[in-house]
């Protein structure tokens, strides 16, 4: 779902389409609210059924447009956010105000020395998941990545039932 909203399953072209239409939706929303004076008074005014067909369609257009503002706002804000992130932040045009994406922590030589000179006893996947569950009972692991070399740690990816994050959005190392 995230990839669909970010780039419509078309990596380069889709992201440009999402960016352009997100900004256009936001511009259209703002200009529509500016041109439709006192729009807040019309939220609960139903279309006039007994008037002629042209008046009814005009009222229906205004009514449906006002009640779909939240949807257009969501599309405009999220599409504009992707436009802010890529290309503006990626190419250094504007500053990044969110923290950079974290990298997997690596064990330093000091950490390895603290483990001792003996060979550490290997843990099974089940023991690692149980240790994480003991630390954080709400965490639901979805997959476990073993270390690629001696200086890396195991990575356990999962979720805490957060509404807007992916099922592997949270990690323990």
- The residues, any chain, with a CB within 8 Å of residue 143's CB and separated by 6 or more, are 156, 157, 158, 168
At residue 151, the pLDDT reads 67
At residue 100, the pLDDT reads 65
Domain boundary residue among 41, 60, 89?
89
Residue 26 falls within a domain, yes or no?
yes
Domain that holds residue 33: 2-89
- Digit-by-digit pLDDT tens for the chain (173 residues) are 777 877 888 877 888 888 888 889 999 999 988 888 888 887 888 889 888 999 999 889 888 888 899 999 988 888 888 788 777 887 888 888 776 665 667 767 787 778 777 777 778 889 999 999 999 999 999 999 888 776 678 889 998 877 767 777 788 88
CA 119 to chain centre: 42
Domain boundary residue among 89, 119, 143?
89
Token pair for residue 50? 């007994």
pTM: 0.55
Domain boundary residue among 57, 89, 121?
89
Among residues 66, 65, 76, which one has the least CA distance to residue 24?
76
In this structure, are residues 110 and 56 in contact, taking their beta carbons and an 8 Å threshold? Answer: no
Cα–Cα distance, 112 to 109 (Å, whole number)? 5
The domain total for the chain is 2
At residue 56, the pLDDT reads 92
Instruction: Determine the 3-state secondary structure of 173 from DSSP.
Output: coil
Task: Based on the fold, state whether residues 80 and 113 are members of the same structural domain.
Answer: no
Residue 28 falls within a domain, yes or no?
yes
Among residues 19, 10, 163, 157, which one has the least CA distance to residue 87?
19
């Amino acid at each position: 779902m995230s990839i669909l909203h970010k780039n419509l399953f078309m990596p380069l072209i889709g992201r440009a389409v999402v960016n352009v239409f997100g900004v256009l939706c936001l511009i259209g929303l703002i200009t529509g609210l500016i041109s439709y004076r006192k729009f807040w008074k019309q939220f609960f005014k139903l279309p006039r059924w007994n008037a002629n067909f042209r008046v009814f369609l005009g009222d229906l257009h205004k009514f449906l447009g006002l009640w779909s503002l939240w949807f257009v706002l969501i599309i405009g804000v999220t599409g504009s956010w992707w436009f802010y992130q890529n290309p503006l932040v990626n190419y250094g045009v504007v500053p990044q105000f969110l923290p950079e994406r974290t990298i997997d922590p690596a064990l330093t030589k000091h950490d390895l020395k603290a483990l001792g000179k003996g060979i550490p006893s290997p843990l099974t996947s089940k023991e690692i998941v149980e240790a994480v569950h003991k630390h954080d009972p709400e965490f639901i692991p979805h997959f476990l990545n073993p270390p690629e070399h001696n200086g890396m740690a195991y990575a356990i990816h999962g979720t805490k039932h957060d509404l807007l994050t992916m099922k592997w959005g949270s990690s323990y190392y």
